[in-house]
Amino acid sequence: MASLPAAVPTTAGRPEYTPNRVADPSYVRILDTTLRDGEQAPGAAMTAAQKLSIARQLVLLGVDVIDAGFPSSSPEELNAVKSIAAEVGSCAAAGSHVPVISAIARCNRRDIDAAWAAVGGARRPRICTFIATSEIHMKHKLRKSREEVVAIAGEMVAYARSVGFKDINFGAEDSLRSDKDFLCRVFGQAIKAGATTVVIADTVGCTLPSEIKALVSYVRANTPGIENAVISIHCHNDLGLANANTLAAIEAGAREVEVTVNGIGERAGNAALEEVVMAIKCRKELLGGIYTGINTKHISETSKMVVEYTELNVQPHKAIVGANAFSHESGIHQDGVLKFRGTYEFISREEIGLNQTNESAIVLGKLSGRHALKSRLSRLGYDVDGAELDAVFRKFKEWTGKKKRISDDEIEALVCSKPVQSQPIWSLGGVQVVHGTLGFSSATVKLINMEGKEKIASSSGIGPLDAAYKAIETIVQTPIKLVEYTNTPLDGINSIFSTQVVLSEDHSQLSAFPPIEKVNGDANDFGPSGKANGHSPSGKANGHAFSFNGSGEDADIVVSSVQAYLQALNRMLSMKYSI
């Protein structure tokens, strides 16, 4: 069996990139193929501008290789890949590295020429050229013999070198259904011709982890010249085992993994970047101390961007990035999390770029307990305890037996005999925004106080929400911090918008808010720090941290957002004045 290279010192946690070897045997390269294999998911097609935006985000995430696309598929795709190579693959943002930019090509001269035209201008250009090696593919798709496939592999890798590529990724399509000795022979021929990485591909996702592990070990032991190449693994998820298979391949010696954000891709998708990376980070002691160069704090933001651009929503129970990944409804779990998050949260939400309070992860329903209800009431500004809490809890249980979710307004109705406010301190009189592509947005807001007096203010901002919220702050003269913001269309393109916000008091400048086009997400969407105005989500009242939520619904996204903001603001002011 070929041995892994000896360890060498690393720079900034990432070994220096060498095409045909990974300098530190504990390091695993991350090749992200969201822009290529991920885009092949039905309905996931993206514009060139969207692909470029995701590529920029992948640099922040810290991926080693970006599989930018399939240049020979169309002139538009070639230009999209070329723009990524020219911008993302040529210069680094402050504090980041320059990733390898790869383009895929079938084993023919036309595809290889297109790949070089697309990525040749990058600082580290790479090609991934591939051909099928399984009997079923060679017979029914390629209609070629084994000898012909071996010859083509060697010839086309050599041609890729001749056009300028020094970093050549050779992939054997449908590796796991290939004869293993023939697979080793093809890989050996590709390495001899100049391949620097060989890819074992579970193209149809038919494999178990034990099979992957055995095959990687066999390839390492029986491929001529394998000591001069890196073994990469590419797994599909047809049996739901892509992530497990990828980890098994790493255990056997693979040192590059091909993954996609949110696990999107053909059919059931690919191995998910966020799940593979977090498994490595959290259980590295069981995987031989391996590590990656990924900055996991950008995972949540990257996932949201991919959802927005592909319109492929993440299922709520998806690991790491699903809406329920850090949510709790069981009373036992809620009680534990409210006391100490680590009781039921193995992964810290901050590690993936989320910035939430304990309470925001608590979902109130029929399985919730007293502790969770009391915590939510406190967040809404109500101090309920003892017999009163018992009575409120009994009513709460009656309601949750009849419906799945209880809104904050309904929670407040449970304690209506002890209201913090009898009427809103500020009501919305009207809002007017001017928004477009020429300069900043502006907003004029009219609020009505408890005496019925009108107050009007105007402000400008990065987007209409930024402008509207700044105008409100001008009127109320209270420093406010946005902790979370979510906006969801309820029924398609002509829907009502449902907005939820969480606010706390803050003594710094109000942060920037998202432009109107970006309507999904939380406080991570409001600045590169992943926090509203770069601060942690906690206001102060009598020495205790409080945050206040509000909701709004309207056919106009700005109106629904202002309604939600005012509801949370009124709750915050009511508690402040009652203390």
Q: What is the mean pLDDT of each run of 10 residues along the chain (579 residues)?
A: 40 82 96 97 94 96 97 97 95 72 98 98 97 97 97 98 98 97 98 98 97 98 98 98 98 98 97 98 93 96 94 91 78 73 80 66 78 79 82 82 72 61 80 84 93 93 91 91 78 67 66 39 32 31 57 87 92 72
The single-letter code of the amino acid at 309 is Y
Q: Where in the chain is the domain with CATH 3.20.20.70?
A: 29-309
Q: Tell me, what's the pLDDT at 287?
A: 92
Question: What one-letter code names the amino acid at 408?
Answer: D
Predicted local distance difference test score (pLDDT) of residue 95: 54
CA–CA gap between residue 260 and residue 236 (Å, rounded) = 10
Nearest to 155 by CA among 201, 199, 108: 108
Burial of residue 285, with CB atoms counted within 10 A of its CB: 0-12 exposed, 13-18 middle, 19 or more buried: exposed
Domain with CATH 3.30.160.270 in the chain: 426-578
- Looking at CATH, the fold of the domain delimited by 29-309 is given as TIM Barrel (3.20.20)
As a whole number of angstroms, the distance between CA 323 and CA 314 comes to 8
Tokens of 212: 């992957």
Tell me whether strands 426-434 and 441-449 are parallel, antiparallel or unpaired: antiparallel
Measured from the Cβ of residue 11, the count of other Cβ atoms closer than 10 Å reads: 9
Task: Tell me what pLDDT residue 527 has.
Answer: 30
Is residue 232 exposed (0-12), middle (13-18) or buried (19+ Cβ within 10 Å)? buried
Q: Are 321 and 314 in contact (CB under 8 A)?
A: yes
Residue 185, φ and ψ in degrees, nearest 5: -65, -45
Question: Looking at domain 426-578, does it have CATH number 3.30.160.270?
Answer: yes
Contact assessment for residue 292 and residue 259, using Cβ atoms and an 8 Å cutoff: no
3-state secondary structure of 318: coil
Could you tell me how many residues make up the chain?
579
27: left (phi over 0), alpha (psi -120 to 50) or beta: beta
Judged on CB neighbours under 10 Å (0-12, 13-18, 19+), 194 is buried
What pLDDT sits at residue 479?
A: 85
> Cα–Cα distance between 60 and 278 in angstroms, integer?
16
